[in-house]
Structure 1
């Protein structure tokens, strides 16, 4: 069993979907979890991710953060580092927008990069700064996508942003491996989340049929891989991207589905 007792993990975009599964999984392994995003801290109905974790006996809190704002990121990470230290960062927050180059506006392009790329950079920089200062190593796990490893027709901005995340992960991975900071990534395939609700039933069926194991992932399956990369079991893995996609990348052709997806 993986034991993260005594570790503090910051999870961005942890209010739902993959992020919530990651946060609850890290907490169940004993980590103190800080959920940092634009919505979880605002919930007052007892259903925030931190509420779910504390109700289950874990340790968690939610903080308000726009990861596209570097000053906010530095302030929040500085506060967390001062109070608890930062041992693990999971860059999960992301946005999706469909469209070819001609269908992608300036605003949509900048929004995709502001969250998926800039936000990942700001949070990684802030976390690693504190990890280096503490001198105890650390773990950074970036939630990318199979769309960052292979083209996905009709998603120009998203593929470009996730591709940037992939190579950023590789670069930071080799830069900080000598200091005992493992930076790796997870590339989910199709997962049961709000984000993939843009696919209609017919397209979903086609995608499932062409996935070697015949089904989409549950967020927990992504979270289990993040847990592994957040633990000592991954100490000799640096700058790698693990696809969690049911065999999609290695076993299927590119399928042009953008025409059946609502932008």
Structure 2
């Protein structure tokens, strides 16, 4: 690898899942010391940490429920303490994507998605910015949003709304934190492959492949590469941007 993130200390939330695990692995390959947050999926997070250490890298696993504001602040504080008082990159990846018809959706179901996908982003970013603003070079924050922030899907009203808000939060944070050298961006993936997806949703996968100009599903590595770019010196003048990673689906005409 090219060592684009050499010397960085990065916190990746939701690193027990497929996309988060892919992001954390690529950050480590590019030289970053990585803190892998998980709520569930602790076993896979620890397996990745062992692999990183086996390659000569540094990794730490922390567990927390990020719907709790105090837990968000604790995770950031632990990451910075482990990093010798530094935290140069945060990737807000933790999220949920349940399905529910809007007409039958309860406020509790709405809040469960918004608290996980949006409120945790707010709290983690705020805590990380407090660390980054006091260090040379500031830092970078990347939120994992979705193309559903602008292209709604049935049964995903709570998810779509939360991801649209994540995009606007990043732009607002970029505006207010820029003077401290903190860059805030989003990555909006399309459909990312995972084990069992094609068997569970064959019609959806078929329709996606037909709609995508690049004619394939995304991979966690595709999202990870975008995050590496945004956290690296190559993106030193990029902030408030939404980087779409969807194989070209968003380029298709709507009529």
TM-score with structure 1 setting the length: 0.89
Q: Measure, in 1, the Cα distance between the counterparts of 2:249 and 2:185.
A: 20
Could you tell me how far 1:174 is from its partner in structure 2? 1.5
CA distance in 2, matches of 1:98, 1:39: 19
Per-residue deviation, 1:46:
8.8
Within a 5 Å distance, the mapping from 1:218-237 to structure 2 comes to: 218-237=219-238
Whole-angstrom distance in 2 between the partners of 1:129 and 1:70: 15
The answer to whether the Cα contact below 8 Å between 1:2 and 1:231 also exists between their aligned partners in 2 is no
In structure 1, the residue matched to 2:146 is: 145
Q: What secondary structure sits across from 1:9 in the alignment? A: strand
* Deviation for aligned residue 1:73: 1.6
Following the alignment from structure 1 to structure 2, what is the Cα–Cα distance between the partners of residues 195 and 185?
Answer: 27
Partner Cα distance (1:184, 1:137) in 2: 14
Contact 1:144 1:186 in 2 (8 A): yes
Structure 1 position 125, deviation (Å) = 0.6
Partner residue in 2 for 1:207 = 208
> Cα 1:123–1:90, aligned 2, differ >3 Å: closer, same or farther?
same
How large is the RMSD of aligned CA atoms in angstroms? 2.0
- Corresponding residue number in structure 2 for 1:107: 108
Deviation at 1:197, TM superposition (A): 6.7
Confirm or deny that 1:14 pairs with 2:15: yes
Q: Aligned partners of 1:115 and 1:16: how far apart in 2?
A: 14
Question: 1:212–1:252: structure 2 CA closer, same or farther, 3 Å change rule?
Answer: farther
Q: Output aligned runs, 1:124-163, within 5 Å.
A: 124-163=125-164
Q: What is the CA deviation profile of residues 22-70 of structure 1, one whole-angstrom value per residue up to 9, with x for unaligned ones?
A: 0010001111000012135x42x89532122222332101011211111
Cα offset, 1:236, TM superposition: 0.6
Q: Detail structure 1 runs of 4+ shifted over 6 Å in the superposition.
A: none
Matched, 1:116 2:124: no
Cα 1:83–1:57, aligned 2, differ >3 Å: closer, same or farther? closer
Structure 2, unmatched stretches of 5+, are none
Q: Report how many aligned residue pairs link the two structures.
A: 252
Q: 1:195 to 1:58 in 2, by over 3 A?
A: farther
Q: Equivalent residue for 2:57?
A: 58
C-alpha distance in structure 1 between counterparts of 2:216 and 2:77, whole Å: 41
SS of the aligned residue for 1:48 comes to helix
Partner of 1:217: 218
Query: 2:66, 2:77 → 1: CA distance?
Result: 14
Counterparts in 2 of 1:217 and 1:36: CA distance versus 1, 3 Å = same
C-alpha contact (below 8 Å) 2:36/2:45 kept by paired residues: no
Distance in 2 between residues matched to 1:198 and 1:97, nearest whole Å: 18
Does the aligned pair in 2 maintain the 1:16–1:49 contact within 8 Å? no
SS in 1 for 2:133: helix
Change (3 A) 1:198 1:94: farther
CA distance, structure 2, for counterparts of residue 168 and residue 120 of structure 1: 9
**Alpha-carbon distance in structure 2 between the residues aligned to 1:168 and 1:72:** 20
CA distance in 2, matches of 1:46, 1:97: 22
Mapping 1:30-41, distance limit 5 Å: 30-40=31-41
- The CA distance in 2 between the partners of 1:25 and 1:197, in whole Å, is 25
Which residue is equivalent to 2:93? 92
